[in-house]
Amino acid sequence: MLSKSSLGTDPLAKVLEPNPNESPAEREARLLDEAKAKRMSDSIDEELEKQRIAVKSGPRAIKVLLLGMQSCSLILITQFLMHITLMFDDRPK
């Protein structure tokens, strides 16, 4: 069971805190590494956000369930799909 004193602390804080005996050169190297990791993380977050917006604002897929015998006229199905495409086409005519 957890004690009351451990409930208010971050369990990774002890692991992530810098070495108390680190030299100024080690500190500088650590800070540079952290800054590089932060830039990389921000870059990935930005790319994911762009992809999310692109998917959200892109064309939406329309699913059509065609029922009937397999021997139904392929021409009829093709004409139906062309009609639907023209109906929902946003380009100027």
Signed CA dihedral, 48, 52, 58, 61: sign only: positive
Instruction: Give domain status of residue 83, yes or no.
Output: yes
Q: What is the pLDDT of residue 1?
A: 45
Largest CA distance in the chain: 80
Q: What domain range includes position 73? A: 21-87
Mean pLDDT, 10 residues at a time, the chain of 93 residues? 58 83 92 96 96 84 71 73 77 60
Q: Quick one: which of 62, 61, 66 has its CA closest to 77?
A: 66
Instruction: Give domain status of residue 61, yes or no.
Output: yes
Q: What is the pLDDT of residue 40?
A: 97
Instruction: Give domain status of residue 73, yes or no.
Output: yes
Instruction: Give domain status of residue 52, yes or no.
Output: yes
Which amino acid belongs to residue 66?
L
Q: What is the pLDDT of residue 31?
A: 93
Q: How many domains is the chain partitioned into structurally?
A: 1
Instruction: Give domain status of residue 60, yes or no.
Output: yes
Can you tell me the distance from the alpha carbon of 71 to that of 93, in angstroms, rounded to the nearest whole number? 35
Instruction: Give domain status of residue 37, yes or no.
Output: yes
Instruction: Give domain status of residue 92, yes or no.
Output: no
Instruction: Give domain status of residue 68, yes or no.
Output: yes
